Amino acid sequence: MLAAERIRRSAGLYSSTLDAFGLSPERRQGLIEEFAGRIEEFDASYVEEMRGIAKGADVPFEQIVMINARTEVVAMARAETGSPDPEEQDDGCTGALIMPAKSASGNLVHGQNWDWRSECVETGIVLRVRNNNGPDFVTFVEAGGLARSGFNEAGISITANYLECERDYKKLGVPLGLVRRKVLEQEHFAKAIKAVASTPKSCSNNIMIATSAGFGIDFECAPDESFPILPENDLIVHANHWVSPIALTKLRDTGIPFVPESFYRDWRVRQSLESHGGKIGRKELKEALFDDFLTPYAVCRPPRPGNHDNITATVAMVVMEAALGMMEIAPLPALNRQFATYCLQDYTPLPSDAAPRAKSLFIEG
């Protein structure tokens, strides 16, 4: 399937969601234009890139903006139309980070299960971006998007997952996907921290970033404030509930009704990683993320009916070792344990325990 076809599928996926809400075409256009303006204020080159994607895929520019702001646009459309909240949050995710002191290879290891709509297996793509004004980077993203999970040639990696609080959607902020893109464009980790911690957002998000130099940090982000979480026992593990004691004294976790299993997903991954006692690496992180305790509401979710007649699942497992310039991805890992390796360069040497090199930049379920 060509990239253009995947982009059109991405656009169709979220257009149909807005149709189901009954959002008028005029209001849809207005909402997307508001975000396009906010994105241009943040970084005009992103708007230029989106226009190029739209032209190449032969889709309206507004649909590319929608893909890049889909979390915000869908949530705001739901609120404006009075559509009921979902019984559960499809966009879950469980992320983890292994510090070098605990890593068998001596390198920092960073990974995540991305829980969302299973149709996104057919829209997933890996971008290798050659950047004239910053480091090159690799990112796994929905086709048409500018970034999601990934790492850059400076050794900076990022994953992110759902959080919610009562401050969400009070103001128009920078879409989350563009915050992630900004992180991947940084040469220095301090600038990556700044991009996460200080960029105003429309909604909450948990963002985990790391550097192959040997440090990682998690930020629980409210729209207007960020709360850092440092490694504990050389690990960071985060699901979809707020854990920062400071955050919990200042805001209300309104996401628990949608992700009640978050509490044990977090616990299960940490327990699995700590159970090995000694050094661990990509193999042990994959094992932890494959956990099916209390399935289907598990760390690794099999496809099952979700909201709005869609099917929700762990769409992909992503495991990165930025020091080696590699990312391993398994689509629909509850059904498939075959990984493919994506590298920053075609000639990047792979360790003996790495998955086979990917044959294309498309994710195949």
Mean pLDDT, all residues of the chain: 95
Contact call for residues 176 and 98 (beta carbons, < 8 A): no
Q: Rounded to an integer, what distance in angstroms lies between the CA atom of residue 72 and that of residue 268?
A: 30
Q: Rounded to an integer, what distance in angstroms lies between the CA atom of residue 65 and that of residue 32?
A: 7
Contact call for residues 223 and 204 (beta carbons, < 8 A): yes
The helix, strand and coil proportions of the chain, stated in percent and rounded to the nearest 5, come to: 35, 25, 40
* CATH number for region 3-81: 1.10.10.2120
pLDDT at position 1 over 60: no
**pLDDT digit string, tens, across residues 187-200:** 999 999 999 999 99
Q: Rounded to an integer, what distance in angstroms lies between the CA atom of residue 192 and that of residue 135?
A: 12
By CB atoms closer than 10 A (0-12, 13-18, 19+), residue 21 is middle
What are the distances in angstroms from CA 74 to CA 14, 202, 272?
8, 12, 35
pLDDT at position 343 over 70: yes
Domain with CATH 3.60.60.10 in the chain: 94-343
Query: What is the pLDDT at residue 89?
Result: 57
Tokens at residue 216, please? 């990682």
Domain with CATH 1.10.10.2120 in the chain: 3-81
Tokens at residue 126, please? 């890996």
Query: What is the pLDDT at residue 166?
Result: 98
Tokens at residue 125, please? 């793509």
Q: Which of the residue ranges 119-123, 182-186, 321-325 would you say has the lowest mean pLDDT? A: 119-123
The whole-number average pLDDT for the span 277-295 is 98
Report the candidate in 363, 365, 361 with the shortest Cα–Cα distance to residue 344. 361
Q: Rounded to an integer, what distance in angstroms lies between the CA atom of residue 82 and that of residue 23?
A: 10
Tokens at residue 56, please? 């190449």
94-343: which CATH topology?
Penicillin V Acylase; Chain A (3.60.60)
